[in-house]
Structure 1
């Protein structure tokens, strides 16, 4: 602006009789000028351009005396000039100098517009004339109820004065209006958060999110939101355009949108309002705004999965967990597999069987898939297929004690079937796997208990007693922590011992021995 002012000053010096105390050749000369004199009278529009140039050139001491003369002219005839000069003063933070011009404009018939009143109100606010500024801001809102700048500025001023209720009222828009200003609604969300009014904040945020997210109306739309259907949203007129709200342009950043969503979700989860939280999460998944950033979209999907698990909604949790598993690099992520298993365990949905079989055909060397398919076969009673899967897992990881135990358990199940052939061979194989399991895992309470259960099921009671008694000689695998008692198997072992002693009279005091184990290890 200094160069613009310089060129204008040169023109005015040459053609309009503007005289400085020094020669003006460049911007430095203009800055060093100490006095200025007009040798002839200029038209007001030219004079206003000179004043604006001087203000932007930081020579406001030259401009202020000239600007004071403007008030001598009729505002109705020269209001546009008043406004141009006032805007230049406001932009350069000279609010006190701009105020007389703006006040004259607000009192005129032709220029008392909302935009002029807003500039007037902002200048009053900048000069800490709060009461007058509040009146001016409210007049702007009266003239233009949708004025977001006026509403937000008024709310900020009232908040600064500690008048929080009035501040909220300033950013509360008509609920019956067909147009909602998103920036004003966002500011209302911020104020409600600061006040700790979480229920009102959540209601306001739901409305704010509706400007970029789709209102969930059916199960089919939830399917699409959680990625179960790879199709786009229908463009059919499910509701008329007249019933939809129109939102004004918003400058709310994506990260801020996501921050508000997280705060709403955390509060609803803390209050156990899981149905409402699930709906908000699925609605967020429909948002093209959130889908623009992959990391945020995936985080929302993960939050939705957690909510579905907490709510017990395994039907939709399965879709989300499956999508999470199929992403790049997640097929070998144990944490993702654990999530999918939690979903499968908590639900009665059998869709996962077909999914796992198809996935195993594509990845035959994936050990988790072999084990899970083995579990599915056990659940359906097809033990031979389960043994095949567990044996495949053992070949891939020969020293995995879990896979050895699973193979041994399935062999025990096959032995106990009524019409199975080669029972002696099956018992021998089961014993071999139990022995490998013991060597792999080492001596501990859990190992001896598991082998004892296997012997117990096979009817080898003498061996079962031996392993159960060895198990009681060891402490639990986990002895520290809040849930350490869960790993103590002494009660289960004692109960099984009592069953054996009561079922088979090993001695004349069999019932007394059973009673002894119950009294020693099982207390109520």
Structure 2
């Protein structure tokens, strides 16, 4: 085991002692390892008269553990110890020291040899302190010795060791108030210099608590002072159980010193822990309340049970109203409704303006036990008072009416709740249920609408989605569903932000930086979900809702909504398993929304990941639709790893659309040489025809002849008369050889349609050919053009 603190179990006693003596561990660490704990025990017995709250079995185990450390020396070792002391007195220190170490070797947890060694090393301050600490630790009942060691630790500026010494002194003499005060003074001094108190394992409230549990009843005023201080600190830290412990200890020792304020605090803590019977006893003992009760013995499932029935109660006229309200609350929870009704009549005569909060406490107790009729009596004066025209009060009023079956009146109360708290989800849900039962569907659905400028309930949005779906309000369902998904999806502001959603690392940070660069607020502040709400869609529910909303948006042409949803899904952690499918949905949404720049980014990514004909076709499609044509350099890089002849077709098309016909011809000829199919021949022919239109290129006649040669080769390979006649007609039309163009267009009209296609049905180029004929005839033969139009182009 290394010398670093943080032990997982108790090490060998001799090894532990040697580590301390060598300075490898501090005394606090040594003490912690020795006892297995380094915090003081607040439940230590204060004196012999006070019962120990530790259970008997645990107490016996704890005491046996302590006894195992405080071993007494055997007769032989006692003789050796006496010999060592005689040698020390005679000045034979080396022999005395060896004798002490021999005793420590055999019994390392006996205090006597350490005491003698401390005297031997009195001239060596460090060793004297070490042996003195060990001796005091093994015989901890000497409070004066602990005080002396605390003073030495203070001189050495060792605050942690000083505090430990004072804590041990307090344990040795728990009824010594001076020791408690010195420890508190040290704690105050350390607080003033901002010492890290969390390393001491001693807090101010624990010191207060220890004083209360340690001092005898004769120190009643001191006990009360520190009990109230401790209770206040515990209460502010929401440690109700601890606050009750310290007040109960003070009450047990000096209940006669409890003022009405103290009693009120004690009762409040008892009620918080539902100790209503104890509260009644406190009222009788400290508040001069007289109660008549009888105890009935009942048999329940072969068990004898005692039940207390409260018959009468007499309250002093000068009893403060807050104590009256607490007595009433106790009787409510004890279900003594015969007394509750009488006491409630008296209580309701108090001014609502001054006692409104107490009214609320009583109403809460009545509602908790299900007595909504009496709860409603308490609420009526509150809702009529202007000072308590609050959403919380109206909500309780509405709940009481709802529970009593008075739904028509409850509607008005729920509307008052929403007037004060428009974001209250539960009130909206209850109001919807009432209006739906009354068949006021439109009003009920409007009630579910939340103001997105306020705090939004995701749970209510989900309920609204289900209800809108139930009533076939499809577009409203789409809007609300999108808002619900914004709980996990990013709400994009513009299409330029979509590209950041594809980055796997810190996409949110990229979006925020982009917004900052534009001088905008980085975070979406237009919708705030209730952070305290526990509702959350499961990953499967989120996925199903996303797909359904996407389908609705597509059906109704809400393509911008499709795109926002799709890119939002890319950044949802719960939808990460569906990443591949979502990416393709993003691509579809971009196409439908004509966002070709983002579609281009996505399709490039597809082409890198999935090298197949489908991806290359999509790449070519976006190239046709986008103003930013695919660059040849990108295509070259794309096909470097996995060469494919389709590269020539794509790069050739890129050069063709950019007007670089010679480069296009190079790639198309290579493609034609490799494939020798109809498409490759057509691409070469089209390139030759485009070159004819360029004035800077010579020998146009040769280009025309070559174009026609490849067109005829295309006709031979294609073996589809209507298509080939049409393309030949277009070529002659382009070359202004109108007589030949007319001939081939007329051949198109005379041909049968193209073979049927499973995806597109029958393909027919008749109308296209007829239109081109009309264009050729309209200037010179308008009647022929009109007859062709009437025959082929009229629907």
> What TM-score range do you get, normalising by the shorter chain?
0.5 to 0.7
Cα distance change on mapping 1:212 and 1:420 into 2, 3 Å: same
- Mapped pair 1:265 → 2:553: yes
Show the counterpart of 1:304. Answer: 589
Q: Does 1:447 align with 2:729?
A: no
Match of 1:344 among 623, 639, 648: 623
Contact 1:452 1:468 (C-alpha < 8 Å) held by counterparts: yes
- Aligned counterpart, 1:374: 652
- How far 1:345 moved relative to its partner? 2.9
Q: Is the 8 A contact 2:600 2:619 kept in 1?
A: yes
Quick check: 2:563–2:586 contact (8 Å CA) kept in 1? no
CA distance in 2, matches of 1:303, 1:326: 15
**Alignment deviations for residues 150-194 of structure 1 (CA, whole Å, 9 cap, x no partner):** 4324323422331235424543445653x2222223434554565
Deviates more, 1:128-137 or 1:371-380: 128-137
> What residue number does 1:332 align with?
612
Residue 775 of structure 2 is aligned to residue 521 of structure 1 = no
Residue 563 of structure 2 contacts residue 593 of structure 2 at CA under 8 Å; is this kept in 1? no
Query: CA RMSD of the aligned region, Å?
Result: 5.5
Q: Pick from 212, 224, 228 the counterpart of residue 500 of structure 2.
A: 224
User: SS of 2:536's equivalent?
Assistant: coil
Whole-Å separation in 2 of the counterparts to 1:346 and 1:194: 41
Structure 1 gaps of 5+ residues are 1-15, 21-35, 45-66, 88-97, 503-510
Paired with 2:687 and 2:697, the residues of 1 have a C-alpha distance of 13
- Report deviation, 1:85: 13
CA distance in 2, matches of 1:281, 1:242: 16
What's the TM-score, normalizing by structure 1? Answer: 0.61
Cα distance change, pair 157–43 in 1 and its aligned pair in 2 (3 A): same
Structure 1 residues 78-227: aligned runs within 5 Å: 99=370, 101=371, 103-104=373-374, 121=399, 130-131=407-408, 147-168=424-445, 170-173=447-450, 177=454, 179-191=455-467, 204=480, 207-217=483-493, 220-225=496-501
Larger Rg: 2
Give the aligned partner of residue 174 of structure 2: none
Distance 1:233 1:84 in 2: 50
Structure 2: how far apart are the matches of 1:174 and 1:457? Answer: 62
Matched with 1:407 is 684
SS at match of 1:233: helix
Q: Pick the aligned partner of 1:247 from 529, 532, 549.
A: 529
Q: 1:114 to 1:395 in 2, by over 3 A?
A: farther
The CA distance in 2 between the partners of 1:460 and 1:172, in whole Å, is: 69
1:348 is paired with a residue of what secondary structure?
coil
**Residue 423 and residue 73 in structure 1: after superposition, are their counterparts in 2 closer, same or farther (change >3 A)?**
same
State the partner residue of 2:597.
315
| 1:489-508 correspondence runs (5 A) | 489-491=768-770, 494=773
Q: Is the 8 A contact 1:494 1:517 kept in 2?
A: no
Change beyond 3 A, Cα 1:230–1:490: farther
1:359 paired with 2:643, answer no
Alpha carbons of structure 1 residues 471 and 260: separation in structure 2 relative to 1, 3 Å:
closer
Query: In structure 2, what is the Cα distance between the partners aligned to 1:241 and 1:375?
Result: 44
Deviates more, 1:418-427 or 1:339-348: 418-427
TM-score, normalization: structure 2? 0.43
The aligned residue for residue 506 of structure 1 is: none
What is the match of residue 284 of structure 1? 568
Distance change in 2, residues 1:351/1:85 (3 Å)? same
The Cα shift of 1:374 comes to 1.5
In structure 1, C-alpha distance between the alignment counterparts of 2:581 and 2:707, rounded to whole Å: 50
CA distance in 1, matches of 2:733, 2:554: 49
Query: Deviations for 1:429-480, whole angstroms, at most 9, x for unmatched residues?
Result: 5455334322322151221332355467678899777756654542332689
The CA deviation string for residues 330-374 of structure 1, in whole angstroms up to 9 with x for no partner, is x4253x55554444333422355553343244443151x432322
2:623·2:630 contact (CA, 8 Å) conserved in 1?
no
Relative to structure 1, the CA distance from residue 42 to residue 227 in structure 2 (aligned partners, 3 Å threshold; closer, same or farther) is: same
Q: 1:41 aligns with which of 290, 303, 306?
A: 306
Query: In the TM superposition, what whole-angstrom CA distance separates every residue of 1:214-252 from its partner, at most 9, and x where no partner exists?
Result: 443456424424779995534567538895643123334
C-alpha change, 1:351 and 1:122, in structure 2 (3 Å) is farther
SS in 2 for 1:269: coil
CA distance in 2, matches of 1:290, 1:411: 55
Q: How far apart are 1:377 and its partner, in Å? A: 1.5
How far apart are the structure 1 equivalents of 2:690 and 2:522? 62
Q: Considering Cα pairs closer than 8 Å and 6+ residues apart, tell me whether 1 or 2 has the greater RCO.
A: 1
In structure 2, the partner of 1:47 is: none
Listed as ranges, the gaps of 5+ residues in structure 2 are 1-295, 310-332, 345-359, 383-390
Q: 1:262 to 1:70 in 2, by over 3 A?
A: farther
2-side partners of 1:230 and 1:436: how far apart?
A: 56
**CA distance 1:143–1:108, shift in 2 (3 Å):** farther
Provide the rounded CA distance (Å) in 2 between the counterparts of 1:459 and 1:18. 115
Residue of structure 2 aligned with 1:388, choices 621, 646, 666: 666
Indicate if the aligned counterparts of 1:102 and 1:120 stay in contact, CA closer than 8 A.
Answer: no
1:268–1:277 contact (8 Å) kept in structure 2: no
The more displaced of 154-163 and 465-474 is 465-474
Distance 1:297-1:446 versus aligned 2 partners, 3 A rule: closer
Kept after mapping to 2: 8 A contact 1:498/1:518: yes
User: Relative to structure 1, is the Cα distance of residues 140 and 202 closer, same or farther in structure 2, using a 3 angstrom cutoff?
Assistant: same
